Amino acid sequence: MKLDMAQAEKFYSQMLLIRRFEERCAEAYSHQKIRGFLHLYIGEEAVGVGVMDALSDEDAIVATYREHGLALVRGISPQSIMAELYGKAEGCSHGRGGSMHLYSADKRFYGGNAIVAGGLPFAVGLALADKKMNKNRATVCFFGDGAVAEGEFHESLNLAALWNLPILFVCENNRYGMGTALKYAESETNISKKAAAYKMSSHQVDGMNVIEVAKATQKAVKSIKAGGGPQFLEALTYRFRAHSMFDAELYRDKSEVQEWKKEDPLITFEKRLIELDFEIDTDKIEKEVAKIVEDAVEFAEAGTLEPVEELEKFVYSQRDLS
Amino acid sequence: MSENITYREAIKRAIHKAMSEDDRVFLMGEDVGRYGGSYAVSMGFLEEFGSEKIIDTPLCESGFTGAGIGAAVNGMRPIVEIMTVNFSLLALDQILNTASKLLHMSGGQFNVPLVIRMATGGGNQLAAQHSHSLEGWYAHIPGLKVLTPATVQDAYDMIGLALEDPDPVLIFENATLYNSKGDLDVELSPVEIGKAIVRREGKDLSIFAYGINLIKALQAAENLANDGIDVEVIDLRSLRPLDDEMIMASVKKTHKVLIVDEGWKSGSISAEIMARINEQAFYELDAPMARVCSAEVPFPYAAHLEQAAMPQVDKIIQMAHKVMEDL
């Protein structure tokens, strides 16, 4: 992958959009505009931006409950995402899902799964159908390091490899399953090794480096679309914020967080661009992003509440699928 | 034109028809291929349809059920076979947290046209981990449809109905019924999902049952007729949705109710039916409602104990007399 100016600007803008959008979410949460669970992706932006860059419109995405960033980069409108967080009918899931369940059929974005590892078998099924229908597209399944201890992780990797499915597993290893550090959860903390045991190509990548993530994903997706079967990427990253808005972060030292902040994907990317002699107008991007975020908030504020009479909608299909 | 065949054969023919007519349909589960299906429903299918359509899965109920959900959402029409409902608990998260909720969580964007078949029921000395009837639990869950074919005709029709449905449908096949015989007429229009059927008209007492217990209820009704009690037997067919309309119509006709259900009594589908009758037709009742359920014990291996734990014809007759005497 050769980085050019346009690409550099895109990466920076997308990472900054996630950062600023979520900072605004946290603010809205403190004003009680957003309720329930809110899991922020701040610190992990390079993973989502790098992976999404390698995908085409026809590829499918299955994400976790920490998926605002992925939804934004995939192109779901920031307005509809913010409206969803506000519980408004204009939200991308009609206000039925909230922060943990963002969906878009248009963008082939299949959530937003709040059961740890629950998305993996589902993603295997998406890929299975693509294979059966001879569609040359990939399914990308995101999950955290916590999912690795679940049976579904192992069942899904086995099925994907056994059936040679067009799927990319992306483990967003942010070192903690909620408040339990990986070393307290796994006998083998190198997750990519576990995937390799299922006979699939598996790599670790620096999840704080958007270029590295993009490169690794491009390579993996290329192989998948050439019929090479499943691929596994373990993106080593770090969550700068609390697990959710209810987390007092008793399980890690502030110094550890500060140490990781030196690896901030936005700051390190900016440094790399200077090294490469790329000059991007960060002030301009900052303004553009601020406008997008404020528009999203305005849209969400102006959104409407679904009438209570419609409460029991979306339990069974009304449409004719023939 | 009707033909006398087994329940197993009826399911087999329905799946065969669906796979022959629709490229999107495939069968997936443990031992459905080379073994021929643990209850021999798909015997010979692998040879006929090939491994793309008949998929032997590893032992990973959650994994392959979830894969079925994903494949259904992505354009296929999978039939997932789970060996027994007892094993489906390993897939419960996928069924409950994904299949039943996806349409709602996505604000109507993603429906799940998945069919899951599983064997249910006791009576074969398979002991506590292979014998229970948990379909009533699944009937608790909005977003699912829960079908319980008792007849050969329904065993055939419900496969087609389930595949046509845009939402997840669970079909519970009572293991004791696979060898039972009955008439199949493939020309008949199937009775839609959610409709109960009056299997025997009567005026004195309504017995509501499903699956294998429909057969037991009909036998009991014959016996009770000799005692001058004219029993109406309703085959529920679907535990979700329940056919409230037909249930209440029968209550209004006989004013006396007995429910037969192989689930444990506490929190069972029979409890739900009683509650609904209480809510919708209480003043029609001439006697307290009654039910015959399984004893609240894990099914034992020993034949006499297992049989004692399950609803039986004599227990139904006894309970029917009690309801009549409570007048």
Kindly list the structural domains of chain A, giving each domain's residue range(s) and its CATH number in brackets, ordered by start. Answer: 5-310 (3.40.50.970)
- Same domain, yes or no, for B222 and B181? no
Mutate which of B55, B56, B106, B192 to test chain A, going by most A C-beta atoms within 10 A?
B106
Instruction: Give the whole-angstrom CA distance, residue B94 versus residue A31.
Output: 35
A320 pLDDT exceeds 50?
no
Q: Name the residue of chain B whose CA is nearest to A106's CA.
A: B109
- Same domain, yes or no, for B131 and B18? yes
Interchain CB contacts (distance < 8 Å): A and B: 148
**What pTM did the predictor assign?**
0.96
Q: What was the pLDDT predicted at A318?
A: 80
- Same domain, yes or no, for B177 and B275? no
Q: Is A297 in a helix, a strand, or coil? A: helix
Q: Which of B149, B171, B32, B16 is nearest to B88 (CA)?
A: B171
Quick check: is B192 in a domain?
no
* Counted domains in chain B: 2
Residue A123 has its nearest CB partner, among B26, B52, B70, at: B70
- Same domain, yes or no, for B249 and B273? yes
Q: Name the residue of chain B whose CA is nearest to A118's CA.
A: B94
Which of B185, B217, B240 is the C-terminal boundary of a domain? B185
Whether residue A289 contacts residue A16, with contact meaning beta carbons closer than 8 Å, is answered with yes
Quick check: is B190 in a domain?
no
Mutate which of A100, A122, A134, A150 to test chain B, going by most B C-beta atoms within 10 A?
A122
Q: Is A275 in a helix, a strand, or coil? A: helix
Chain A nearest CA to B240, separation (Å): 12
Which of B137, B153, B185 is the C-terminal boundary of a domain? B185
- In the chain, the amino acid numbered A250 is L
- Same domain, yes or no, for B149 and B239? no
This complex has an ipTM of: 0.95
Given pLDDT bands bounded at 50, 70 and 90, which one contains residue A245?
Answer: confident
- Same domain, yes or no, for B157 and B242? no
- Same domain, yes or no, for B50 and B120? yes
Torsional class of B277: left (φ above 0), alpha (ψ -120 to 50), beta (otherwise): alpha
DSSP state for residue B171 in the 8-state scheme:
E
A9 pLDDT exceeds 90?
yes
Residues in chain A closer than 8 A to B29 (CB atoms): none
- Same domain, yes or no, for B21 and B150? yes
Helix, strand, coil abundance in chain A, percent, nearest 5: 45, 10, 40
Q: What was the pLDDT predicted at A321?
A: 41
What pLDDT digit, counting tens, does each position of A284-304 carry?
A: 999 999 999 999 999 999 999
- Same domain, yes or no, for B25 and B88? yes
Which of B160, B185, B210 is the C-terminal boundary of a domain? B185
- For chain B, list residues whose CB is within 8 angstroms of any CB belonging to chain A: 26, 52, 57-58, 60, 62-76, 78, 93-94, 97-98, 102-111, 113, 142-143, 164, 166-167
Q: Which domain holds residue B281?
A: 197-325
Active site residue B164: no
Q: Is the peptide bond before B123 cis (omega within 30 degrees of 0)?
A: no
- Same domain, yes or no, for B164 and B233? no
Residues in chain A closer than 8 A to B78 (CB atoms): 125
Chain B nearest CA to A44, separation (Å): 25
- In the chain, the amino acid numbered B77 is R
Return the number of other C-beta atoms located less than 10 Å from residue A26's C-beta: 16
Domain with residue B52: its CATH number is 3.40.50.970
Active site residue B61: yes
Q: What is the pLDDT along chain B (327 residues), one digit of tens a residue?
A: 899 999 999 999 999 999 999 999 999 999 999 999 999 999 999 999 999 999 999 999 999 999 999 999 999 999 999 999 999 999 999 999 999 999 999 999 999 999 999 999 999 999 999 999 999 999 999 999 999 999 999 999 999 999 999 999 999 999 999 999 999 999 999 999 999 999 999 999 999 999 999 999 999 999 999 999 999 999 999 999 999 999 999 999 999 999 999 999 999 999 999 999 999 999 999 999 999 999 999 999 999 999 999 999 999 999 999 999 976
- Same domain, yes or no, for B219 and B109? no
Partner-chain contact A97 B106, CB within 8 Å: yes
3-state secondary structure chain A: CCCCHHHHHHHHHHHHHHHHHHHHHHHHHHCCCCCCCCCCCCCCHHHHHHHHHCCCCCCEEEEECCCHHHHHHHCCCHHHHHHHHCCCCCCCCCCCCCCCCCCECCCCEEEEECCCCCHHHHHHHHHHHHHHCCCCCCEEEEEEHHHHHCHHHHHHHHHHHHCCCCEEEEEEECCEECCEEHHHCCCCCCHHHHHHCCCCEEEEEECCCHHHHHHHHHHHHHHHHHHHCCEEEEEECCCCCCCCCCCCCCCCCHHHHHHHHCCCHHHHHHHHHHHCCCCCCHHHHHHHHHHHHHHHHHHHHHCCCCCHHHCCCCCCCCCCCC
Quick check: is B279 in a domain?
yes
Among B30, B61, B262, B272, the one annotated catalytic:
B61
Quick check: is B28 in a domain?
yes
Residues of chain A numbered 232-291 and touching chain B (CB < 8 Å): none
A322 pLDDT exceeds 50?
no
- Same domain, yes or no, for B229 and B145? no
Does A179 contact chain B (CB < 8 Å)? no
Partner-chain contact A97 B164, CB within 8 Å: no
Quick check: is B86 in a domain?
yes
Instruction: Give the whole-angstrom CA distance, residue A146 versus residue A239.
Output: 13
Q: Name the residue of chain A whose CA is nearest to B112's CA.
A: A317
